[in-house]
Amino acid sequence: MSRAAAKKPKGPFDPTLERVGRGERVVLRRGKKAVAAVVPLKDLRLLEEIEDRLDAELAKKALAEPGRIEYREFFRKLGL
């Protein structure tokens, strides 16, 4: 994940960080196209937790599939 310093924001981004600091989600646009979102840290942490849970579910399903091979064999087949 990328990070950027926001010690003393200046210019047009300052009000955006203030809003996000109060818990608001802000969508950044380039023209009429939404290109990014700035969200409070609690929202980011929740999204990461959801991703981790989904990854764990997918991993459990993959491990339950028949015909599993060991990772060494997998890499050997790939020539790695």
Positive or negative, the Cα torsion across 27, 29, 32, 33?
A: negative
If you write DSSP's letter for every residue of the chain in order, what string do you get?
Answer: ------SS--TTHHHHHHHHHTT--EEEEETTEEEEEE--HHHHHHHHHHHHHHHHHHHHHHHHSTT---HHHHHHHHT-
- Is pLDDT larger for residue 5 or for residue 26? 26
The string of pLDDT tens digits covering residues 23-71 is 999 998 888 899 989 999 999 999 999 999 999 999 898 888 888 788 8
- Gap between the Cα atoms of 61 and 13, Å rounded: 44
Amino acid 1: pLDDT: 61
